[in-house]
Structure 1
Amino acid sequence: MNGSRIAAVGHYQPARILTNEDLAALVDTSDEWITSRVGIRTRHIAGPDEPVDELAGHAAAKALATAGLAPDDIDIDLVLVATSTAVDRSPNMAARVAHRLGIPSPAAMDVNVVCAGFTHALATADHAVRAGAATRVLVIGADKMSDVTDWTDRTTCVLVGDGAGAAVVEAAAPGEAPGIGPVLWGSVPEMGHAVRIEGTPARFAQEGQSVYRWATTRLPAIARQACERAGLTPEELAGVVLHQANLRIIEPLAQKIGAVNAVVARDVVDSGNTSAASIPLALSKLVERGEIGTGDPVLLFGFGGNLSYAGQVVRCP
């Protein structure tokens, strides 16, 4: 097979916006404390009647519409949903999204690699196309972090938001260069405890300083290797979309990668940390605003839970 490309992207966020001032009424914090430490000003929070598959379905519907695919002619071989906040074990989010959208008989799988879930799922879609197992794949990152947040813990509740982003991945045309570059992925299992969602009820917790040091010291070299696998230098990138964890991680990491000419996504300021949704959500917004153009090379790089990471260079749809 000739590789794959992203044909279209889409995103969705719940209507309710939670500001730093709103949080200051819940816990001992302030707008200055939050912005100085993580750079977040607002985040979107889903209601109790907005499950993960609904968020995912809205983002996917937007991506499909942008790709020119109507509900009655959706030809999707595979649906992948990256999420770590699914409540039920079965049916999975992918099957529920396929049902919502009326997609007939796709393979349907969830991918739980937490904050790096979307880039892992995108690589899986690319591999499926290259192997001839699929010609069109719907890839979604969706998380409802508000469901797993301790709203009395000021160190974590100020970080999270809810949302979804999606991409339609298609086989590249004969003779067309692949639009999704080789993935570079891995993990640091011995540090997996540094970011976790565990317990009953499940709650999000992290060792913030450990994650910060690891991300800002170890990841720049790994991200540059992802560029090398795509045959590019960081200076040739038009965009950089890192996992939107913390502005104080994003800015130094982008600088150390050396992408001096790239637009750097900073959606964390308005959306908070949306886990697996953060990369497709930020990418879709950059595309929608015209900050990156069709064919532009963009580095996507996810990192976080399990201390997993995955990155690849894609061509903007």
Structure 2
Amino acid sequence: MVAIAANGPFPRSGSRIAGLGAYRPVRVVSNEVAADAAGVDAQWIEQRVGIRERRHAAGGESVVAMGVEAGNKALADAGVSAGEVDVLILATCSMPSPMPNGAASVAAKLGCRATAAFDVNAACSGFSHALAVADALVRAGSARNVLVVASEKMSDWVSAQDRNTGPIFADGAAAALVTPSDRPRIFPVAWGSDGHQAALITIRPDTGHMEMAGRKVYRWTTSALMPAIQTACERAGITPQELKAFVPHQANLRIIDALTEAIGVPGLIAATDVTFSGNTCAASVPLGLHALRQNGQVHSGDPVLLFGFGAGLTYAAQVVLTP
């Protein structure tokens, strides 16, 4: 007989991020190495996207393996055991195969018991989508502890010789444990999609490599997505001026700077993890939040705006209080 995880009735007036974890591969790829492969100048990479170095996974560092590392750290940070996890959501778009899903393997390797486990593929906004689902599950009373893991091995899906993707995308993982709260600390998401422009970021079936129309994606991001940011703040009951930090998807530094400027809050801290991590797709938002907390730039209870956007085209923004 299959075991069923214990559930409800759980406290559900709100939810919170109770713990964060991050995993960054050891292998550092410099701009010089990336530039040589792509046939460009190292300075051109930094000037164009603001990246100085990125991390690439070693052969044994799979999406699942990196997710396990990040998940373990998030559980330790929250003081919760793997056996207490009711649901595990894996945000990824870089699994080598659609079956089996990655989430069940991550759950098994963590030591979770009878845990519901499923993948969410919203590309670079995947973590924000998964976090919204986790918040809803907790508030609905369907789960007490939901582990959201974002893990990507984008180096498998880009050609190092493609100047538009090779020097930009990278590997890594991060995780957040979502638990009940006496009041909301994860606020309602503002999300959507524009599938009419889905062809801007695709995987070519003949090569298996990503293709991206970078300039068009830049224009879409910096011109069409501000309403989502404004709506996320409204749904949290705050103004942008009350934000402590802004953690957008770490696509490139130019987009981050443009979005931060458009928010128009002097002194607003913006995550710039992309500079030393590259674009880690779904993992980039939680890696950025983890870095801000580790560096002491945000503290427990600080309101932070998370904002993912990417292939699909998909986007999702939500305000959270720093764990």
TM-score, scaled to structure 2:
0.94
Aligned position for 1:105:
114
Aligned position for 1:207:
213
Query: How many percent of aligned residue pairs carry the same amino acid?
Result: 46
CA distance in 1 between counterparts of 2:210 and 2:50 reads: 19
22, 29, 42: which one aligns with 1:11: 22
Residues 1:178 and 2:189 aligned together: no
CA distance in 1 between counterparts of 2:133 and 2:175 reads: 14
Aligned position for 1:253:
259
Aligned position for 2:86:
77
SS in structure 2 at match of 1:280: helix
CA distance in 1 between counterparts of 2:320 and 2:137 reads: 16
77, 82, 87: which one aligns with 1:66: 77
Query: Retained in 1: the 8 A contact 2:25–2:171?
Result: yes
Cα deviation 1:139-187 (Å, max 9, x = unaligned): 0111000000111111210101100010000011xxx221100000101
Q: Which runs of 4+ in 1 moved over 2 A?
A: 88-91, 258-262
Offset, 1:257: 1.6
| Amino acid aligned to 2:322 | C
CA distance in 2 between counterparts of 1:30 and 1:69 reads: 47
SS in structure 1 at match of 2:163: coil
Residues 1:239 and 2:245 aligned together: yes
CA distance in 2 between counterparts of 1:261 and 1:192 reads: 35
44, 47, 50: which one aligns with 1:36: 47
| Amino acid aligned to 1:242 | P
Query: Retained in 2: the 8 A contact 1:38–1:248?
Result: yes
SS in structure 1 at match of 2:38: coil
Offset, 1:27: 2.5
| Amino acid aligned to 1:55 | M
SS in structure 2 at match of 1:306: coil
51, 54, 57: which one aligns with 2:65: 54
Offset, 1:198: 4.1
Query: Retained in 2: the 8 A contact 1:80–1:139?
Result: yes
SS in structure 1 at match of 2:99: coil
SS in structure 2 at match of 1:91: coil
Cα deviation 1:262-305 (Å, max 9, x = unaligned): 21000000001000000011111111121100000000000011
SS in structure 2 at match of 1:199: coil
| Amino acid aligned to 1:2 | S
Aligned position for 1:311:
317
Aligned position for 1:122:
131
CA distance in 2 between counterparts of 1:121 and 1:316 reads: 17
SS in structure 1 at match of 2:84: coil
CA distance in 1 between counterparts of 2:35 and 2:188 reads: 44
CA distance in 1 between counterparts of 2:203 and 2:178 reads: 29
Aligned position for 1:139:
148
| Amino acid aligned to 1:291 | Q
Residues 1:162 and 2:168 aligned together: no
CA distance in 2 between counterparts of 1:263 and 1:195 reads: 29
Aligned position for 2:294:
288
SS in structure 2 at match of 1:270: helix
Offset, 1:205: 1.2
Cα deviation 1:103-123 (Å, max 9, x = unaligned): 001110100000000000000
SS in structure 2 at match of 1:87: coil
Query: Retained in 2: the 8 A contact 1:235–1:261?
Result: no
6, 9, 22: which one aligns with 2:33: 22
CA distance in 2 between counterparts of 1:2 and 1:302 reads: 25
Query: Retained in 1: the 8 A contact 2:38–2:167?
Result: no
Query: Retained in 2: the 8 A contact 1:19–1:42?
Result: yes
SS in structure 2 at match of 1:23: helix
Aligned position for 2:6:
none
Any residues of structure 2 matched to 1:81-96 within 5 Å, and which? 81-96=90-105
State the Cα RMSD in Å.
1.1
Aligned position for 2:5:
none
